[in-house]
Amino acid sequence: MLVTAGPTREHVDPVRYLTNESSGKMGFAIAAAAARAGHAVTLIAGPVTLATPRGVRRIDVVSARELLAVCQREFRRCDALVMAAAVADWRPVKKLAAKWRAKDSGAERTTLLLARNPDVLATLTRGRRSASKTVIAFALETGAGVARAKKKLAKKGADWIVLNDPSALGGERTSVTLLGANGEHIELRDRTKSAVARSLVELLGSV
Ligand code: CTP
Q: Where do the structural domains in the chain lie, given as residue ranges? A: 2-89+112-205
**Cα distance between residue 67 and residue 154, in whole Å:** 22
CA of 87 to the centre of ligand 1 (A): 6
Contact 40, 1 (CB under 8 A): yes
**Cα distance between residue 65 and residue 60, in whole Å:** 13
Protein residue with its CA nearest to atom 17 in ligand 1: 139
Tens of pLDDT along the chain (207 residues) come to: 999 999 999 999 999 999 999 999 999 999 999 999 999 999 999 999 999 999 999 999 999 999 999 999 999 999 999 999 999 999 999 999 999 988 888 889 999 999 999 999 999 998 665 568 999 999 988 877 999 999 999 999 999 999 998 887 888 888 999 999 999 999 999 999 999 999 999 998 876
**Cα distance between residue 113 and residue 91, in whole Å:** 8
Ligand 1 atom nearest to 122, measured from its CA: 7
pLDDT of residue 129: 58
The secondary structure of the chain in percent helix, strand, coil, rounded to multiples of 5, reads: 30, 30, 40
Mutate which of 156, 169, 176 for ligand 1 pocket (most atoms within 8 A of beta carbon): 156
DSSP string over 118-168: P-HHHHHHHTPPTTSSEEEEEEE-SSSHHHHHHHHHHHTT-SEEEEE-GGG
20 part of the active site = yes
Q: Cβ < 6 Å from ligand 1: which residues? A: 64, 83, 85, 87, 89, 117, 119-121, 137-140, 152, 156
Give the CATH number of domain 2-89+112-205.
3.40.50.10300
CA of 102 to the centre of ligand 1 (A): 32
Protein residue with its CA nearest to atom 16 in ligand 1: 139
pLDDT of residue 205: 82
**Cα-based distances in Å from 192 to 26, 78, 129, 168, 187:** 9, 27, 34, 10, 14
pLDDT of residue 106: 84
**Cα distance between residue 90 and residue 128, in whole Å:** 25
